[in-house]
Amino acid sequence: MMLQNYLQEYGQQAEIFVNQLQMLENGRLEAHAAIEALEAMLTAGDSTVLLQIGGGASVRAKVLDPEKVLLAIGADVIVERPNKDAVDFLKERIMGMEASQKKVAETLDRLRAQMNEINKRIESGYQQAMAAGQVPE
Amino acid sequence: MFGGLRDKLRAARERLSGSIQAGDAVTDTGSESAPASPQTVVGKSPATPVTPSSPGFVEKVKILIKDRELVVSEKDVADALSELEMTLLESDVALPATDAIIASVRKNLVGKHRKIGESVDALVVGALRSALMDVLGTGFDLKEYIRTHNRPVKILFTGVNGTGKTTTVAKIGAYLKKEGFTVVIGAGDTYRAGAIEQIAVHAERLGIRIIQHQEGADPSAVLFDTVQYATSHNLDVVLADTAGRFHNKANLMSQLGKIKRVMKPDLVVYVDEAVAGNDAVTRAFEFDKTVGADAVVLTKADMDSRGGAAISIAHTIGKPLMFLGVGQAYDDILPFEPAQVVDELLDGGA
């Protein structure tokens, strides 16, 4: 029973790290999409771009000044940056998120290895109990 | 820990040193060829505020000629400070803390006299160190607090879901036990499935007594029993775990109010994760406003390269940071010592 509790606890921790990994991945993909959009806007010229307004709806829009980007840089602060600087910032952020992903994944691997170890011990305990005829029906 | 911030601070520090040296070169050349022109020694640009320590034109020329000293002007550091400001904000350091750091660095640098040949970097590091120390506060020495207060010292842990409150309770229990204190844990998270088992497993591994009721029981009753147990057994510390909750959930916050009324904690500790950055600061502020907080613990600091929450939380909410959680093992918890953190940020990896 005790080992089952350990396993459950490790499982809960692993779940938290999996969620964090997912959040980092979402952030990374979002930043990639933003870079793609920012770079595309520079070459759009007079054409319109599709602006998503939520609920799957989009409108055609003209970006008045694609050279200037309002960017949330952290600490709930938004600053205006030139398009290229914003792209550089997002690329740096992606690198940061990838580094964090690596760290979280390593921790997750360690947790999983510990869970495997506990599983083996539970299994071996079960086998021994079976051999001794103590396993409840 | 906080590796990203450390690298960025190093870059900002080099930029500051570089710009001061560049300013010196301009000033020095001016003094050798002719009386220094107003442009080279101006200490106050119209766009920047005049600081009381900003030296006047005559004084600067006098110092330069007689004492062979250089004076750091506002103009020398303006761009580098602006860059430092961006660096801090990008690292999720809250705006009030960033403003305080910039103001302190400016105050410590502008008008500073420096002998020719003296290290600019030492001057900059000194200014940064002093600014960071001001913002980080004094920390919170839990051992000293327990020694100087009536036993049992009752510590209530609060915070939002999934930040590592229960693990933190176990880690602090292990830390206090190692320091020779007697501890009892109250399993006050009767809401989350498996929470009681989780804390019970920790307590058993650590050899710490735990008081627990059934899942769904009134947490106030559990924690009241825990305090009673500690009192009757002359224990030093009660660590009270509670269910995670968001500050905008009125019913859960009023339950926390009831727990406070019943167990009368000596300390309310807010637990959040360092990786949440500015969100952790905002949430700590809201919790403090609603149920109060005396100190903060930040978990998962080893996963946080930006360091924003750790730098800003004490300054922003005015409550000290007590511990940093830095890993999975029971001893992966560090008492927060500002001087050590500043050393690591400014010297570590240099």
| Interface check B187 vs A, CB under 8 A | no
Q: What pLDDT sits at residue B47?
A: 42
Does B309 lie in the same domain as B247?
Answer: yes
B63-98 pLDDT, tens digit per residue, is 655 556 677 788 878 888 888 999 899 888 999 999
Strands (E) located in B135-284: 153-159, 183-188, 209-211, 237-242, 267-273
Parent domain of B194: 142-337
Confidence label for B198 from pLDDT (cuts 50, 70 and 90):
confident
Q: Is residue A101 part of a domain?
A: yes
Q: Is residue A7 part of a domain?
A: yes
Rounding to the nearest 10 degrees, give the CA dihedral for residues B278, B195, B260, B151: -100
Nearest to A41 by CA among A86, A97, A95, A80: A86
Instruction: Tell me the CA distances in angstroms from B33 to A135, B29, B36, B37, B64, one per residue in order.
Output: 97, 6, 8, 10, 13
Residue B303 to residue A8, Cβ atoms within 8 A:
no
Choose between B274 and B72: higher pLDDT.
B274
Confidence label for B186 from pLDDT (cuts 50, 70 and 90):
very high
CA distance B313 to chain A (A): 12
Whose tokens are 């947490």? That residue is B219
Parent domain of A99: 2-131
Does B256 lie in the same domain as B131?
Answer: no
Quick check: B166 and B198 in contact, CB under 8 A?
Answer: yes
Nearest to B151 by CA among B187, B189, B180, B188: B180
Instruction: Find residue B270's DSSP bridge partners.
Output: B158, B296
Among chain A residues, the shortest Cα distance to B8 is held by A92
Does B146 lie in the same domain as B292?
Answer: yes
Does B161 lie in the same domain as B128?
Answer: no
Residue B91 to residue A8, Cβ atoms within 8 A:
no
Choose between B103 and B30: higher pLDDT.
B103
Q: B188 CB contacts (<8 Å, ≥6 apart)?
A: B219, B222, B223, B226, B240, B241, B242, B243, B259
Domain final residue, candidates B92, B121, B136: B136
Domain final residue, candidates B83, B108, B136: B136
Does B165 lie in the same domain as B35?
Answer: no
Among chain B residues, the shortest Cα distance to A20 is held by B275
Quick check: B293 and B317 in contact, CB under 8 A?
Answer: yes
Q: What pLDDT sits at residue B27?
A: 54
Could you tell me the CATH number of the domain that includes residue A67? 1.10.287.370
Angle (CA) B102 B107 B110, round 5°: 110
Q: Is residue B345 part of a domain?
A: no
Q: Is residue B44 part of a domain?
A: yes
Does B157 lie in the same domain as B302?
Answer: yes
Contacts of the segment B146-149: beta carbons below 8 A, 24+ positions apart = B146/B176, B146/B181, B146/B236, B146/B237, B149/B266
Residue B207 has pLDDT above 70, yes or no: yes
Cβ neighbours, 10 Å, residue B66 = 8
The mean pLDDT value for B228-256 works out to 90
State ipTM: 0.73
Half-sphere exposure of B90 (CA within 13 A, CB side): 22
The mean pLDDT value for B12-23 works out to 79
Residue B198 to residue A8, Cβ atoms within 8 A:
yes
Does B276 lie in the same domain as B316?
Answer: yes
Which of A15, A71, A77 should be substituted to probe chain B, the one whose Cβ sees the most B Cβ atoms within 10 Å? Answer: A77
Which of A12, A97, A114 should be substituted to probe chain B, the one whose Cβ sees the most B Cβ atoms within 10 Å? Answer: A12
Residue A25 structure tokens: 């991945």
The mean pLDDT value for A9-14 works out to 85
Does B319 lie in the same domain as B249?
Answer: yes
Residue B24 has pLDDT above 90, yes or no: no
DSSP state, residue B207: T
| Interface check B194 vs A, CB under 8 A | yes
Q: Is residue A119 part of a domain?
A: yes
Q: How many residues does chain A have?
A: 137
Q: Is residue B350 part of a domain?
A: no
Residue B182 has pLDDT above 90, yes or no: yes
Instruction: Find residue A57's DSSP bridge partners.
Output: A54
| Interface check B116 vs A, CB under 8 A | no
The mean pLDDT value for A48-71 works out to 92
Cβ neighbours, 10 Å, residue B143 = 13
DSSP string computed for B63-97:
IIIII-EEE--HHHHHHHHHHHHHHHHHTT--HHH
| Interface check B118 vs A, CB under 8 A | no
Quick check: B301 and B345 in contact, CB under 8 A?
Answer: no
Q: Is residue A136 part of a domain?
A: no
Cβ neighbours, 10 Å, residue B260 = 17
The count of structural domains within chain A is 1
Q: What pLDDT sits at residue B30?
A: 45
Q: β-strands B183-188, A49-54: how paired?
A: unpaired
The mean pLDDT value for B159-185 works out to 93
φ/ψ of B158, rounded to 5, equals -130, 170
Domain final residue, candidates B136, B158, B182: B136
Residue A80 structure tokens: 């205006």
Q: Is residue B14 part of a domain?
A: yes
Q: Is residue B346 part of a domain?
A: no
Residue B173 has pLDDT above 60, yes or no: yes
Q: β-strands B321-325, B333-335: how paired?
A: antiparallel
Residues of A in contact with B86 (CB under 8 A): 73, 79
| Interface check B95 vs A, CB under 8 A | yes
Q: Is residue B53 part of a domain?
A: yes
Residue B305 to residue A99, Cβ atoms within 8 A:
yes
Q: B225 CB contacts (<8 Å, ≥6 apart)?
A: B186, B211, B213
The mean pLDDT value for A98-123 works out to 91
Ramachandran region, residue B217 (left: φ > 0; alpha: ψ -120 to 50; beta: rest): beta
Could you tell me the CATH number of the domain that includes residue B99? 1.20.120.140
Half-sphere exposure of A51 (CA within 13 A, CB side): 9
Q: What pLDDT sits at residue B50?
A: 44
φ/ψ of B287, rounded to 5, equals -60, -45
Could you tell me the CATH number of the domain that includes residue B240? 3.40.50.300
Rounding to the nearest 10 degrees, give the CA dihedral for residues B104, B105, B106, B111: 110
The mean pLDDT value for A60-80 works out to 91
Q: Is residue A111 part of a domain?
A: yes
